[in-house]
Amino acid sequence: MSESSGPLTATRYGRTAARLVDLIYKNIIKVLYVTVALSVFSILDVFGILHMLRLYSEATHDLIVAVISITLLLILSYIFFYIIKARTVLNSWLKRFESSSLSVSIRVLAKSKNKEDVINAIAESVYEITPYMYRYVENDDLARFIDVDVNGERFDILIDKERVDGEFKDVLKSYGSIIAMVVDGVADEYRIDEFYKKLTVYSKITGNKIGLALLIADKVEARALARHKAIDSLLIIEQSAE
């Protein structure tokens, strides 16, 4: 099980998120206290109560306003820092959980490493393309996405805007191309590097961004799993052949 999945990981992420929210909440309370103090001081000043109690002086007035304003600015800066941190962390977790869910979905839906089965699983799992892939699946028109040659580089599965038409082109332009490599046997570091080079060549030749890169093998070496974490948008799935 990867580090981005499992109940313990989800619990840890939830606990960290709760701490960040709690820190932001506590600092917002401080802002409210300072704001209330500033409001009370302003009301006393406006209605002349400070004059009546002989507590008013220009120097004191300016000093109190300056201290409250600086305190408020410092607290707001602190809150802003934690909001940015929370947004970054939550976006990172969202990406991890989406990748984990997508990986599980494809593994369950793909009956085997057969390329047609893999395409069907991708079509059902990637919701952005699901409505548009139905036509190709129902018409048994998946050959256009299999063993595709791009300037001498062969891709086991390639779904990109050059192979579709209509509105689907714009969808894939926005989401990015979907590229899959199917490996018979064990995927090692060499296979990961080979696939990465293919992805790099594809991007340079076509100018298309890659939305999903998928490598499916019977088994994946531990070192290869560690290697793939450095490659953005790459999913590795262990799927035994029928």
Instruction: Locate 143 and state its tokens.
Output: 């050959």
- pLDDT band (50, 70, 90) for residue 202: very high
Q: Which helix (H) or strand (E) holds 234?
A: strand 234-238
- pLDDT band (50, 70, 90) for residue 4: very low
Q: Are residues 67 and 173 in the same domain?
A: no
DSSP lists the bridge partners of residue 214 as: 180, 235
Q: Are residues 20 and 129 in the same domain?
A: no
Min mean pLDDT across 73-87, 176-190, 221-235 is at 221-235
Q: Which domain holds residue 190?
A: 112-238
Residue 70, domain member (yes or no): yes
Q: In the chain, how many domains are there?
A: 2
Q: Are residues 104 and 116 in the same domain?
A: no
The packing angle between helices 58-109 and 7-46, to 10°, is: 160
Residue 214, domain member (yes or no): yes
Q: Are residues 76 and 156 in the same domain?
A: no
Of the candidates 68, 87, 108, which is a domain's last residue?
108
Q: State residue 13's pLDDT score.
A: 64
Distance CA 149, CA 144 (A): 10
pTM for this prediction = 0.65
Of the candidates 75, 108, 141, which is a domain's last residue?
108
CATH number of the domain residue 229 falls in = 3.40.1350.10
Of the candidates 108, 140, 159, which is a domain's last residue?
108
Give tens-digit pLDDT for 72-102: 888 888 888 878 877 777 777 777 777 778 8
Q: Are residues 118 and 104 in the same domain?
A: no
Q: Are residues 96 and 165 in the same domain?
A: no
Q: Are residues 128 and 148 in the same domain?
A: yes
Q: Are residues 96 and 129 in the same domain?
A: no
Q: Are residues 121 and 204 in the same domain?
A: yes
Q: State residue 139's pLDDT score.
A: 87
First to last CA, the chain: 22
Give tens-digit pLDDT for 140-165: 889 999 999 998 889 999 999 999 99
Q: State residue 6's pLDDT score.
A: 47
Residue 2, domain member (yes or no): no
- pLDDT for 194 beyond 70: yes
Q: Are residues 123 and 99 in the same domain?
A: no
Higher pLDDT among residues 197 and 239, named by residue: 197
Q: State residue 168's pLDDT score.
A: 94
Q: State residue 206's pLDDT score.
A: 92
Distance CA 142, CA 139 (A): 8
Q: Are residues 130 and 104 in the same domain?
A: no
